Amino acid sequence: MLRIKYEDMVKEFQRVLLARGFSEKNAADAAIVFAQNSLDGIYTHGLNRFPRFVSYVDKGEIKADVAAECVMSMGAIERWDGHRGFGPLNARQAMARACELAKQYGIGLVALGNNNHWMRGGSYGWQAADEGCIGICWSNTMPNMPAWGGKDRKIGNNPIIFAVPKSNGDHVVVDCAVSQFSYGKIEEAKLKGIQLPVPGGYDEDGNLTTDPAAIEKTWRVLPMGYWKGSGISVLLDLISTVLTNANSVQKIGTFGDEVGLSQIMIAIDPGKFNDADTTDRIVEELEADIKSSIPAVEDGKVFYPGEIEINTRRDNLANGIPVIEEKWEEVLNL
């Protein structure tokens, strides 16, 4: 397996973005977003997603020179317009503002409409936690999943993120789509030639399958929790559309590509209730209880949410980021 230094990956991404009209700062910040995703083991939204993102820039669907702006402000709640700019930078700006509001009011919410794909939603949970805040955020998507009981794609696999901070940076973070597997995970399994660990969608005969290639033929992916995930998807879309007054999953589906998304950033400052030591103690007691679980399989391990990413980040910093060689070559040739 080819492994690439984090710094080298950042430089290559930055080179490509500078050639497409990004400013020095935006190219550097955007390159770091993609490289950090791969650094944490979220390869589907790092290197593997970068060429597709560049294709959107080349088609003019992502604008390199625009930034999100606040269009309404009401105390702890604001509405922002992303102006179809670079999704991750707009999302980082919106979460940073939510954290500022949380430090002032105890809670802050930024409803970010008309943004583009934010890549890895977990980035903004980690960002909030790095600021000492509890983070809650989600995005809608294009219609890419059937509502429960249906066959055609009407709802989104709308990712939702929860994060709780620890003062040493080893935060507790959940980042998940409301499909059983994100499209990126299905694509990654296909590229690696492996089966999904549990059924993730339906084949052409309408049977549940673990075969990513069979799911790609139908794109009839499975909501997590079956009808529960379907219902959660609908409500996340409704809340984000109401608060942004921007684009719903249904409307995004008329655009041709996954652009113009609606996203919600919520930050809560636990420091308004507890000092940092108290919050750390609460988190560490929970982690210790989870880690004391009896493994379901011999020599198995039980992880708390976010622990695998922390371990992967340390390994990849020390030894380089593993890459799929054809994807790395694709970036080198851009």
Q: Which positions are catalytic?
A: 45
Which residue in the block uniquely carries the two structure tokens 């219609």?
Answer: 143
Give every CB contact of residue 295 below 8 A, 6+ residues apart in sequence: 301, 302
What span, in angstroms and rounded, lies between the C-alpha atoms of 183 and 157? 9
Read off the amino acid at residue 7: E
Question: Quick one: tokens of 241?
Answer: 């559309």
Number of H helices, E strands in the chain: 12, 13
Give dist(CA 90, CA 29) in Å, integer: 11
Measure Cα distances from 249 to 158, 183, 313 in Å: 9, 16, 33
CB distance 129 to 140 below 8 Å = no
Angstrom distance (rounded) from CA 281 to CA 272: 16
Gyration radius of the chain over CA positions = 20
Question: CB-based contacts of 177: which residues, under 8 Å, 6+ apart?
Answer: 157, 158, 159, 224
Q: In the chain, helix, strand, coil percent, each to 5? A: 45, 20, 35
Helix (H/G/I), strand (E/B), else coil: 207: coil
**Distance, CA of 240 to CA of 261 (rounded, Å):** 9
Question: For residue 264, which phi and psi values (nearest 5 degrees)?
Answer: -120, 130
160 close to 266: Cβ distance less than 8 angstroms: no
Q: Does residue 288 sit in helix, strand or coil?
A: helix
Residue 195 corresponds to which amino acid?
Answer: Q
